[in-house]
Amino acid sequence: MTRKKKAPPKGEGASKGSAKAIEELHEIAGQIYAQLSDGQIPKMVLPLRTKANIRFDTRAEVWKYGALKGARTAKKLRGALMLLRTMYILEFIKDMIDQSKSSTLREMYYISEGWDLAKFHSQDESNLLAEDLEVITQLIREDFKLRPEESGASVIGNLTIEEVTRNGERRRINCRDDIGDAGYTIPYNVEKEKIKFLETDAKFVLAIETGGMFDRLVENGFDEEANCVLVHLKGQPSRATRRFVRRLNEEMKLPCAVFVDGDPWSFRIHASIAFGAIKTAHISEYLATPTAEFVGITASDILNYELPTDALTPRDIGALHAELTDPRFADEFWRHEIQTMLEINKKAEQQALAKYGLDYVTDRYLPEKLGEIGLMRG
Amino acid sequence: MTRKKKAPPKGEGASKGSAKAIEELHEIAGQIYAQLSDGQIPKMVLPLRTKANIRFDTRAEVWKYGALKGARTAKKLRGALMLLRTMYILEFIKDMIDQSKSSTLREMYYISEGWDLAKFHSQDESNLLAEDLEVITQLIREDFKLRPEESGASVIGNLTIEEVTRNGERRRINCRDDIGDAGYTIPYNVEKEKIKFLETDAKFVLAIETGGMFDRLVENGFDEEANCVLVHLKGQPSRATRRFVRRLNEEMKLPCAVFVDGDPWSFRIHASIAFGAIKTAHISEYLATPTAEFVGITASDILNYELPTDALTPRDIGALHAELTDPRFADEFWRHEIQTMLEINKKAEQQALAKYGLDYVTDRYLPEKLGEIGLMRG
């Protein structure tokens, strides 16, 4: 009872990513094999993935892993098991590529039930290994047909894309005229073999943290008013969402502005878009949009716009202090805003602008903030 | 800088809901006014909204509030403030209806910053009042132009709908052929003035808890294989999602099957669809689909399919015991499954079926479970 798929046109069956992935997987297996047949205890060497080991790549203008390395060796039981799992995963991924399948990270965790000793004991272990494969091969998870549970973000605006559907059809979709008011949903794979950007007359992308604010801007017609593409981040944005924004920036030359709450967690949402996230620093040049500008609520906005606030919690204060030692926030703007937030001991949500009425955000706040950075006549 | 809307055709500007809403709001204000001018201390009487006060409505076949009532009187400060807030809200809602606007519950909370003494101190207070208005008027929140933050669920299947967009256009969308692989997203308002169901050849609706499983069924082409409409619930389903499923059941005569994890929280997800949720029992006949069948993971499935499991947590055990005293679960099937789950002390996720491979769920599990209830040849 397997599904009859339309056969993809010859030569397009596997994306470039998949062909490259199989090659890289063979390479890894080959290295382990070579070490074993040389009588060595096998090991894999990979960069340390910590805040201490991210450095600014001036060419790509994003934060990436530095030179610090760690080794995973079969000398210890834990390391040996991880190498064994790596071998099972290589086979699993190869099978999926051969069968044009993909799997969630959660499914891979359950699949390992059949791997005997190599079975994962938690999903953290399997997620970590999937990321390791990216770091080692310089490919991305999508090339390995692994995907997260995260549901995609929504897009509204005059942007026409072409999506290759599960049946292999090329479908042209305008993200304003062909979809419902809830928007076009970004699929989990947004690489070029899946999504092409065809045309847009928008001048910039506005990435928005909360659903309430996204719906407000949609209802107020801000995409048409300001001639922009609205992207709902749904909190901490998924990789697909960050990649989508990066590609819009790179290929359609659209500047990006990030409109989030005014609290340390939302600063990190901005950082993951503009600077690259620490967990995915090995693929920052795929995911980050270095020129993205922050138009979210700042500590200064809390004071200037007299916004309704909540007091910082101890967790908020800890997160702000951590940001003061985060190299990604080491500039004058961020130091000032983080320190001011700590001093006033207050945070505010983007929806707090509703204090002045439902239209204030589109009539006053965004024109002012976007005007400052030249994206709107203020 | 307000948006130029296409004027809606005469006579369709306000939905029936809106006209009725204004009438009902006047009625509430009138009653308070009458009590005051009679020299009485004003009060509002409404049903108690607790598990103890839900009863089965045999006509509508859903659980609704019973006869127990509580009064909110201005004798006490808290009651007086709630009445004052009610008056402000009535005015706010009337303004929104006049201006064809809507607002999130969060925005309403912030709007109250301008209401002086009547300002809400937490969003729980404002949400409660919004629900009270529904209970009193027998209308729904959507008629009052209030909506939640929740993002809508996704739909994939051969179902053609017509959505009236924010510009007043009628847009015809097929939920399989006109959208991307991430599906059609259910908007926050799915009432008849917004969404019409035009046609479908599907035989039933399959409502799915997790995104990973939804994507699995989409990738495996289960909507075409089993001729059904797939609806991703995104965990505890939003009101819009439940209403969408109810309308598909009622208007398109599609039976509904609910496919969720095997744990007490997922049993409640099923209950909110099939029986009506306790918090929204006043509108169960709008939201619930009484004939919905459970095809999620049961304690028996855990044993029969030898699924990977986790141990129940103390919170899980507490929730299962609460369900044993919940009138909605008071039948033989549920008592047996809940008691078995307590005995084996195990729960399992729907993605645990991946233990047997990525196709097991569509090749074996679902055909068996759906076969038992006559929705598929097993």
Instruction: Give the percent of chain B with pLDDT over 70.
Output: 95
Catalytic residue among B33, B110, B305, B360: B110
What is the model's pLDDT at position A6? 41
- B239-261 pLDDT tens trace: 899 999 999 999 999 999 999 99
Q: Which three-class secondary structure state does DSSP give residue A243?
A: helix
Q: Is B270 in a helix, a strand, or coil?
A: helix
Task: Give the residue, B20 or B232, on which the prediction is more confident.
Answer: B232
CB contact under 8 A, B351 and A106: yes
Which positions in chain A touch B218 (Cβ < 8 Å)?
166
CA–CA separation, B58 and A219 (whole Å): 40
Q: By the 8 A CB rule, do B46 and B132 touch?
A: yes
Question: For an interface test with B, which of A93, A171, A181 has the most B Cβ atoms less than 10 Å from its Cβ?
Answer: A181
Both tokens assigned to A65: 């892993």
Pairing assessment for the beta strands B204-208 and B256-259 based on DSSP bridges:
parallel
Preferred mutation among A185, A218, A238, A353 to probe B, highest tally of B CBs within 10 A: A185
- Residues facing A159 on adjacent strands: A200
- Mean pLDDT, residues B352-359 taken together: 93
Structure confidence at residue B151 as a pLDDT band (50, 70, 90): low
Of B266, B268, B271, B273, which Cα lies nearest the Cα of B246?
B273
- List chain B residues with CB under 8 Å of A107: 212, 216, 351, 354, 358
Q: Which helix (H) or strand (E) holds B342?
A: helix B332-344
Residues 319-358 of A with CB under 8 A from B: 349, 351-355, 357-358
CA distances B124 to A159, A203, B108, B121, B287, Å, are: 38, 39, 12, 8, 22
How far apart are the C-alpha atoms of A377 and A341, rounded to whole Å? Answer: 29
pLDDT, position B236: 87
pLDDT, mean of each 10-residue run, chain A (378 residues)? 39 57 89 91 84 81 82 86 90 90 90 89 87 86 83 91 94 96 92 94 97 93 97 90 96 98 96 86 88 97 95 97 92 96 97 94 97 87
pLDDT band of residue B142 (cuts 50, 70, 90) is confident
- Of the listed ranges A225-229, B124-128, B147-151, B301-305, the least confidently predicted one is B147-151
Of B2, B107, B166, the CB nearest to A218: B166
Q: Is the pLDDT of residue B309 over 90?
A: yes
- Chain B's closest residue to A165, CA to CA, is B181
Cβ pair A180:B171 closer than 8 A: yes
Q: What is the pLDDT of residue B323?
A: 95
Residue A162: closest CA among chain B residues belongs to which residue?
B180
Q: Count the residues in chain B.
A: 378
DSSP label at A376?
Answer: S
Interchain contact, A308 vs B110, CB within 8 Å: yes
Sign of CA dihedral A179, A185, A189, A195: positive
Measuring CA to CA, which residue among B134, B149, B116, B175 is closest to residue B17?
B134
Alpha carbon B19 to its chain centroid, in Å, reads 24
pLDDT at res. A5? 42
Residue A313 CA to residue A336 CA, distance in Å, equals 20
Q: Which of A65, A109, A110, A286 is catalytic?
A: A110
Q: What is the pTM of this model?
A: 0.86
**Inter-chain residue contact A188 with B215, CB threshold 8 Å:** yes
pLDDT of residue B277: 79
DSSP-H helix ranges across chain A: 16-37, 77-98, 105-111, 123-137, 211-219, 222-225, 239-251, 264-274, 284-287, 299-304, 314-324, 332-344, 360, 366-372
Hey, of B160, B166, B350, which one would you mutate to test binding to chain A, going by the most A CBs within 10 A of its CB?
B166
Q: Which of residues 264-323 of B touch A (CB under 8 A)?
A: 308
Span B83-94, mean pLDDT? 91
* Residue type at B198 in one-letter notation: L
* Distances in whole angstroms, Cα of residue B9 to Cα of each of B5, B6, B13: 12, 9, 7
- Read off the pLDDT band of B16 (50, 70, 90): low
Does pLDDT of B338 surpass 60?
A: yes
What does the block give as tokens for B195? 């969404």
Of the candidates B110, B182, B351, the beta carbon closest to that of A187 is on B182
**Neighboring chain A residues of B211 at a CB cutoff of 8 Å:** 149-151
Residue-level pLDDT at A78: 86
Q: What gap in Å lies between CA A67 and CA A55, rounded to an integer?
A: 9
* pLDDT value of position A10: 34
The residue of chain B with its CA nearest to that of A223 is B3
Whether B180 and A185 lie within 8 Å, measured CB to CB: yes
Q: Is A5 in contact with B221 (Cβ distance < 8 A)?
A: yes
Matching residue, tokens 């101190």: B121
pLDDT on residue A372? 95
**Cβ(A269)–Cβ(A153) below 8 Å:** no
Calpha distance A110→B223 (Å, rounded) = 24
Please give the residue that has the higher pLDDT: either B10 or A281: A281
Distance CA A56, CA A46 (A): 19
Our CA-based measurement puts residue B323 at a distance from the nearest CA of chain A, in whole angstroms, of 28
Indicate the residue of B110, B181, B215 with minimum beta-carbon distance to A355: B110
Contact yes or no for B219 and A150 at CB 8 A: no
Residues of B in contact with A224 (CB under 8 A): 3
Is the Cβ of A362 closer than 8 Å to some Cβ of chain B? yes
Which residues from chain A sit within 8 angstroms of residue B145, using beta carbons? none
CB neighbourhood size of A246 (10 A): 22
**B184: annotated active-site residue:** no
Segment 3-62 of chain A within 8 Å of chain B by CB = 3, 5
Size of interface A-B (CB pairs under 8 A): 166
Tally of CA atoms within 13 A in the half-sphere of B70 that contains its CB: 10
pLDDT at B307 over 70: yes
Q: Residue A154 in contact with residue A186, Cβ under 8 Å?
A: yes
| Residue-wise pLDDT tens digits, B213-229 | 999 999 999 999 999 99
Partner residue facing B163 (CB), from A165, A180, A212 = A180
Q: How confident is the model at residue B45 (pLDDT cuts 50, 70, 90)?
A: confident
B193 in contact with A at a CB cutoff of 8 Å? Answer: no
pLDDT value for A12: 35
pLDDT tens per residue, range B273-291: 998 877 778 888 889 999 9
Residue B182: which of A3, A185, A212 has the nearest Cβ? Answer: A185
| Strand A54-57 with A62-65, pairing | antiparallel
Q: Does B142 touch chain A (CB under 8 A)?
A: no
A1 to chain B: closest CA residue: B363
